Amino acid sequence: MKILVTGAAGFIGMTTSLRLLARGDEVVGLDNLNDYYEVSLKENRLKRLTSHANFRFIKLDVGERAGMEALFASEKFDKVIHLAAQAGVRYSIQNPHAYIDSNLVGFTNVLEGCRHNAVQHLVYASSSSVYGGNTKMPFSEHDSVDHPISLYAATKKANELMAHTYSHLYGLPTTGLRFFTVYGPWGRPDMALFLFTRAILEGRPIDVFNHGNMQRDFTYVDDIVEGVIRVVDKTAAVNPQYDPISADPATSNAPYRVFNIGNNNPVQLLDFIAAIEDALGMKAEKRLLPLQDGDVPATYANTDLLNDWVGFVPGTTVQEGVGRFIAWYRDYYGI
């Protein structure tokens, strides 16, 4: 297949592209290489892709309407994996316009490109952050997600609504994946694992929010990508049992699906830090701080629907995953 991967220089985008290339797909990777975090890391991820004959890179912002229209019209993709977005919960409080431009305008451009060019299936990144103020655990796709507590979360919820509209109006099959705290080699420098590792190695204290009383459904990147690939290969379909009188948010009478994709096994933040300390052979100095605006104390994915749909069962423990990240980090930075 010929597949567009937006955000191909990103953490999940690079890993997904490598998997697609390994099985023989033609991949067109798109990224704007913005400076939200170190551009050199994105460029080095791209170097892992550009050595493949079946990969082509296009530097383009998904928010550029004319460029996106031309790209879709000329390439005629079979399927699209849309991972490009302005990421980060906390940054959305500081720079809201970046999220509107990328996550809303950019997603509209992707939807329009798929609609007008007979794309068979659009798979896009949503986020566990859509659960917002929900406190019922584990988070289920059957639950309402109408109370976001950050603009980032609101844009991801909006993406799901926009996708459903296009599935309903134009019969475009769409599947949204609510990612839960993805980590691993080549990960994002603004995420906890990267921040903690760097600080510990440099002898600086680490910021531990909510005084350490946090849980995250940490999910290893290879497990995530396995789920993404399986979902790409199983096109979203109408749910024949859908009942509009008691509507289920997870499915529809349009070719639309939304799934949690996580480890289904939340880990205490202090236990996660202990795994980092063990892998580094160093102890962290912890600076205990209150919960930050826009953040939630716990995430926990119910993944039964995704398991039923494509047989997704993550298999990497936090100890294994953190160990692989630390080994990559030491090699990449020569430490």
Q: Which of 51, 67, 6 is nearest to 33 (CA)?
A: 6
* All residues at 6 or more sequence positions from 215 whose CB lies less than 8 Å from its CB, including other chains: 266, 267, 268, 269, 297, 298, 299, 300
Check the CA dihedral 261-227-160-81 and report its sign: positive
Strand partners, 121: 79
Q: Which of 248, 243, 227, 240 is nearest to 309 (CA)?
A: 227
Tell me if 9 sits within 8 A of 38, measured CB to CB. no
Helix (H) or strand (E) holding 174: strand 174-179
Distance CA 251, CA 262 (A): 19
Rounded to the nearest 5 degrees, what angle is found at the Cα of 21, between the Cα atoms of 15 and 22? 90
Distance CA 315, CA 324 (A): 14
Burial of 62 (0-12, 13-18, 19+ CB in 10 A): buried
Q: Which of 235, 238, 45, 229 is nearest to 122 (CA)?
A: 235
Choice among 91, 99, 152, 166 that is catalytic = 152
Token pair, residue 172, equals 């475009």
Known catalytic membership, residue 152: yes
Tell me if 318 sits within 8 A of 268, measured CB to CB. no
Helix (H) or strand (E) holding 224: helix 221-233
Q: Which residues are catalytic?
A: 152
